[in-house]
Amino acid sequence: MNSFRALRSLAILTAAILLAAAPFAPVAAQQPAPRGKVVMQVSDADPARWNLALNNAKNVQTDLGAANVDIEIVAYGPGLGMLMADSVVGNRVAEAIGAGVKVIACENTMRGRKLTQADMLGEIAYVSAGVVEIMQKQQQGWAYIRP
């Protein structure tokens, strides 16, 4: 093999390796600092827990910057009262939504209690099953906090 051909072969090999490795570099770089994403569960009938969940969301936004983190609060089962129209934390829920927190009620729980969206706080979101929402978010890489 003359030296020109040897060099060409080496160049092909090098290019192939570099190109093959390139698409995986971002994956490796992403792992140390993924975007902050957290789903918080409210499944207690206790207003102290509702306040703790709202405090937790606020602290996460303060610490990381509201623009740098996605936060969902999902209320289901005995926790649904947090999001009913007469909730003692109604003002704080509205404030959290205003600050960019997504607040979600479980329609399964609502059906079980014969409630409609008219019975709930305004501006909240809905999912058919709160527990499935929490489960799927985790499997998509979100952290989970159960205050």
- Positions that interact with a copy of itself (CB under 8 A): 1, 8-9, 12-13, 15-17, 19-21, 23-24, 31-32, 34, 36-38, 41, 43, 48, 52, 55-56, 59-60, 62-64, 77-78, 108, 128-129, 131-132, 134-136, 138-141, 143-147
Residue closer to a copy of itself by CB (options 115, 131) is 131
Residue closer to a copy of itself by CB (options 24, 114) is 24
- The sheet carrying 36-42 orders its strands as 125-127, 102-106, 69-75, 36-42, 143-145
Q: 38: how many CB neighbours lie within 10 A of its CB? A: 19
CB of 33 to a copy of itself, least distance (A): 9
Residue closer to a copy of itself by CB (options 114, 118) is 114
CB of 57 to a copy of itself, least distance (A): 9
Buried b vs exposed e over 39-69: b needs ≥16 C-beta within 10 Å?
A: bbbbbbeeeebbebbbebbbebbeeeeeeeb
- Cα separation, 135 vs 27, in Å, equals 23
- Cα separation, 75 vs 65, in Å, equals 24
CB of 89 to a copy of itself, least distance (A): 15
CB of 114 to a copy of itself, least distance (A): 17
Q: 116: how many CB neighbours lie within 10 A of its CB? A: 9
Residue closer to a copy of itself by CB (options 13, 125) is 13
Residue 106: alpha-carbon gap to chain centroid: 16
CB of 108 to a copy of itself, least distance (A): 5
